Amino acid sequence: MTKTGQPVIALIGNPNTGKSTLFNILTGLKQKIGNYPGVTVEKHLGQLQLDDLEVQLIDLPGTYSLSAQSPDEMVVIDVLRGAIDDIGKPDLILIVIDASNLRRNLYLVSQLLELGQPVVVALNMMDLAVENGIHIDVDQLAQELGVPVVPIVASSGEGIDNLKKVLRQSLEKKAIPSLNLLPEIKQAAIKLATKLRREGIEIPSYELERALIDEEGYAEHRLAESHDNPVLEQIRQLRKKLSHGPSLSVQDARTRYGWINRLVDTIEVDEPETAKKSLTEYIDQFVSHPVYGSIFFLLLMAIVFQSVFAWATPLMDWMDHITTTAGKWLEAHLPPGALTSLLVDGVIAGVGSVIIFLPQILILFAFIIFLEDSGYMARAAFMMDRPMRAVGLSGRSFIPMLSSFACAVPGIMATRTISDPRDRLATMLAAPFMTCSARLPVYALLIAAFVPQKTWFWGLINLQGLVLLALYLLGILGGVTTALLLKRSVLKGPTPTFLMEMPPYRLPSLRSVLLKLWERAQIFLRRAGTVIFTVAILIWALAYFPHPVSIHNQFEQQRVEIQRQGNVVETRITELNNQEAAAYLEQSFLGRIGKAIAPVFKPLGWDWKVSAAVVASFPAREVVIAVLGTIYAVGSDVDEEDSSLITRIKSSTWPDGTTIFTVPMAIGLMIFYAFCLQCAATVAIIRRETGTWTIPLLSWLYMTSLGYIGALLVYQIWS
Amino acid sequence: MKQIKDSFTLDRLGAGKKAFVRGFTAEGPVMQRLMQLGVLEGSEVEIIRAAPGGDPIEIRVMGYCLSLRKAEAQMIQVEVIG
């Protein structure tokens, strides 16, 4: 029950049982996503209406058993026990099981029935079971389990009303199931808990039971961390006493499957196995084929990327147009001054430059969610496992890495599917190296300016494209090397397992895809609304203040001069305005920082203007274009194909007349952008996912140093 | 009656082959996880395919499909069903 007295239902189940589909159906858009303290598991809460009763529903991460091997898996036990502060102990456990895969699903059921809490079983995918020739005696199953069993088809909504009715009844009845498959172990755990309590150590007996059974598991690990060794020693002794031959974990698994096999034999009637192949088998013959499957995979990735860039461009242009128009409108209708500048140049331009990536992120996530829900993702991980292992990771790291090509933020969020903590961290730190869409405008500008338009093979291959490809490969190389180094040194450890279910293919429901997409959009927008917002204002303030009146007066004089001459030349006025903006920027704090820091970047061939632009783009790398635009005084409203900006930066010189933007300097600058972690959103998301500032800060230092050294080497050796 | 032929570890079985699980060569969390997933003494397993490069492999057990690496399959002792 929650603190306010609202009943709580915990939703649990194996992965791929349609659990999140059911959660979405039951709660609709009334969902809240948060994080459990100290772990990287997302906390999904939703409101479920049972007639007049409003219930809080918690969606727990998919799990095959209650034997936790990591802090993330332990969350399930903690929630069920009511050990998470702000949730409260569940009044009822709703477990979703896959009717077409009854035996493995019943394993978790057998563990839940022993918790001493009311349980309701939702028997999902009844349609698939019937299709596979499996007939289940639902009434008999309910009788054997001693809890209500409700057949449903979550994807079509069948049986949901009935499920709600049963949930409502069960919340009132509070009937506790009475399964006890390993009474000797449970008894021993209870006795130990009582004994410890007398000694002043409060440990729930279920946690002791898990520690007893799951040798080397997380429950044991946590006891070792938080209590004195005597507790651990007692667990070990007890374990030795209880195991008559095989270890407790073996006894546990054997006993449960023994019970399951006897149970299933009484309630399930399989039709005599027909020679008919399932649809999944047909699809897999092609899709998981070593040769055709690999080709299919490459094609699919090509289509995904093509779409992310091709489909997103019009949307991004449109969003860009809206933010620019909004900015211009405000500028025209508000009195000039610091506040208007804050709104237009700080808030709208700053946040707008990040929001603009929303289309790409959404399109990429639409693909990822579709591939995941359809069952293909497991096949992709299966195929990519060996190549990914070459760099010390597993097939599961592939999708997060791939997502990072659009944006490292969703990529890092996607590392949640990696069960091994070391692998997850290595992937998280390698992901920001992938060429994200924010790097693209920077590359586009510099390539357009400094790489000649040479083509070969009737225009099929061109030099500019090759340079872009090289930059992509450089990012991959950086990420892969980082992962490899990490896994060989600080993140060294036993190779994690690759035990992964290959779920049958199914067509994801549009509703479910859209809901998940909405979730991702919210997380991204919230990020843009907080961190990016703050940082945008900070950079604006640095670039705006102190804003002395003397500059205004000086330019105003010239403007008046021109107007007095009578022949008002619009372009001349614009030029003056731009020069004024540049003069302001030069004496602003940002300009001063640029000048102060310029000696550091001098060996890279950068002057104070480039240095200031790079400094300003640390919160969001694509900002560099806008800042360069202002500094080079063509007005801050420029985009990468603005030839005037290209012309300006090309013709800018050092005081002695030599060109600043030489080819080695530009290549160095691109390499700097390829490596450097200039993204507040990424730093913030790493902080959120790891729960510490140390890792994002180390990552930032490492990537920035790498960018600096790369640019330095290229510039010094080449020129 | 199906005939039991040889004793092997699972990684040595080719695609399409079926076997009964007989035991494990090593204890620990990996074995526990395998058992909880239905790979335990007496279970029938069938090798479905291997990924490009021969590793990992996909097996069918308890009516569903599971992928595992050869290193994990090496821990599983099986008797081939002829």
What average pLDDT does the structure give for chain A?
85
**pLDDT score at A59:** 93
Considering only the beta carbons, identify the residue of B52, B62, B68 that sits closest to A383: B52
Mark yes or no for CB contact B27/A383 under 8 Å. no
Q: Within chain A, which residue ranges are assigned CATH 1.10.287?
A: 183-270
Would you state the pLDDT for residue A527? 64
Q: Which residue has the tokens 């199914």?
A: A506
SS (H, E, C) A260-327: HHHHHHHHEEECCCCCCCCHHHHHHHHHCCCCHHHHHHHHHHHHHHHHHHHHHHHHHHHHHHHHHHHH
What number is the average pLDDT over the span A153-162?
91
Which run of H or E residues covers position B23? strand B18-24
pLDDT > 70? residue A403: yes
- More confident site: A716 or A648: A716
pLDDT of A644: 63
Residue A617 to residues A124, A353, A648, A712: CA-CA distances in angstroms? 50, 11, 20, 19
CB-based burial label for A659 (10 Å; 0-12, 13-18, 19+): middle
pLDDT tens for each residue of B40-55 = 999 999 999 999 888 8
Residue A170 has pLDDT above 90, yes or no: yes
CA distances from A244 to A240, A251, A255, B32 (A): 8, 9, 14, 17
pLDDT at res. B2: 44
Distance CA A559, CA A577 (A): 9
Max avg pLDDT among A491-495, A708-712, B25-29: A708-712
B-chain residues within 8 Å CB-CB of A499?
Answer: 30, 33-34, 37, 66-68, 72
Burial of A597 (0-12, 13-18, 19+ CB in 10 A): middle
Residue A249 predicted with pLDDT over 80 = yes
Residues 40-69 of B with CB under 8 A from A: 40-41, 48-53, 55-56, 58, 62-69
Check if the beta carbon of residue A422 is closer than 8 Å to that of residue A491. Answer: yes
Least confident of A238-247, A341-350, B70-79: A341-350
Whether residues A499 and B67 touch (CB distance < 8 A) is answered with: yes
In angstroms, the separation between the Cα of residue B38 and the nearest Cα of chain A is 6
Mutation target vs A (from B37, B41, B46, B66; most A CBs, 10 A cutoff): B37
Closest CA in chain A for residue B67? A500
Confidence at residue A308, expressed as pLDDT on a 0 to 100 scale = 67
> Does residue A52 have a pLDDT over 50?
yes
Please tell me the distance from the alpha carbon of residue A420 to that of residue A392, in angstroms, as a whole number.
12
pLDDT exceeds 90 at position A30: no
Q: A44: pLDDT confidence band, cut at 50, 70 and 90?
A: confident
Quote the pLDDT of residue A675.
94
φ, ψ for residue A342, nearest 5 deg: -60, -45
Residue A196: pLDDT over 70: yes
pLDDT of residue A40: 63
In eight-state DSSP terms, residue A620 is B
- Domain positions in chain B are 4-81
Q: Tell me how many residue pairs between chain A and chain B have CB atoms under 8 A apart.
A: 112
Among the partner-chain residues A101, A288, A497, the one whose CB lies closest to the CB of B30 is: A497
- Give yes or no for a contact between A248 and A212, defined as CB atoms under 8 angstroms apart: yes
Per-residue confidence (pLDDT) for residue A268, from 0 to 100: 79
* pLDDT over 90 at A411, yes or no: no
ipTM: 0.92
Q: What percentage of chain A exceeds 90 in pLDDT?
A: 32
Mean pLDDT calculated for residue range A612-628:
80
- Tokens at A374, concatenated: 């359809």
Q: What is the pLDDT of residues A424-459, one digit of tens each?
A: 999 999 999 998 878 877 887 888 778 877 777 776
Answer whether residue A265 shows pLDDT above 80: yes
Q: Is the pLDDT reported for residue A31 higher than 60? A: yes
Pairwise CB contact (< 8 Å): B55 & A385: yes
Least confident interval from A73-82, A409-418, A668-677: A409-418
Q: How confident is the model at residue A712 (pLDDT cuts 50, 70, 90)?
A: very high
Indicate whether B74 pLDDT > 80. yes
Query: Bridge-partner residues for B19, per DSSP?
Result: B45, B80
User: CATH assignment of A8-173, given 3.40.50.1820, 3.10.20.30, 3.40.50.300, 3.40.50.1980?
Assistant: 3.40.50.300
Instruction: Report the share of chain A in percent with pLDDT over 70.
Output: 93
Chain A interface includes B72 (CB < 8 A): yes
- Inform me whether the C-beta atom of residue A423 falls under 8 Å from chain B C-beta atoms: no
pLDDT given at position B1: 40
Give Cα separations from B53 to A214, A389, A405, A501, B50 (angstroms).
Answer: 34, 12, 26, 20, 8
Task: Choose, out of B18, B36, B55, B72, the residue to mutate when testing the contact with A (most A CBs < 10 Å).
Answer: B36
- Flag whether pLDDT at B3 surpasses 50: no
- Residue A631 confidence (pLDDT) above 90: no
Ranking A297-311, A400-414, A470-484, B24-38 by mean pLDDT, the lowest is A297-311
For residue A372, give how far its alpha carbon lies from the nearest alpha carbon of chain B (Å): 16
- Higher pLDDT residue, B18 or A469? B18
Asked if the A183-270 domain carries CATH number 1.10.287, the reply is yes
Can the peptide bond before residue A503 be classed as cis, meaning omega within 30 degrees of 0? Answer: no
pLDDT > 80? residue A222: yes
What is the model's pLDDT at position A290?
83
The answer, yes or no, to whether residue A162 has pLDDT greater than 90, is yes
Q: Which CATH class is domain B4-81?
A: mainly beta
Identity of the residue in A67, A294, A495 whose CB atom sits nearest the CB atom of B52:
A294
Is A72 touching B (CB cutoff 8 A)?
A: no
Residue A395 to residue B33, Cβ atoms within 8 A = no
> Is residue A484 over pLDDT 50?
yes
pLDDT at A630 over 70: no
Residue A461 touches partner B, C-beta closer than 8 Å:
no
**What was the pLDDT predicted at A643?**
56
Give how far Cα A664 sits from Cα of A470, A606, A661, A673, Å.
15, 11, 8, 14
Q: List where CATH 3.40.50.300 sits in chain A.
A: 8-173
pLDDT of residue A77: 92
Q: What is the pLDDT of residues A63-118, one digit of tens each?
A: 999 998 877 788 899 999 988 877 889 999 999 999 988 999 999 999 999 999 99
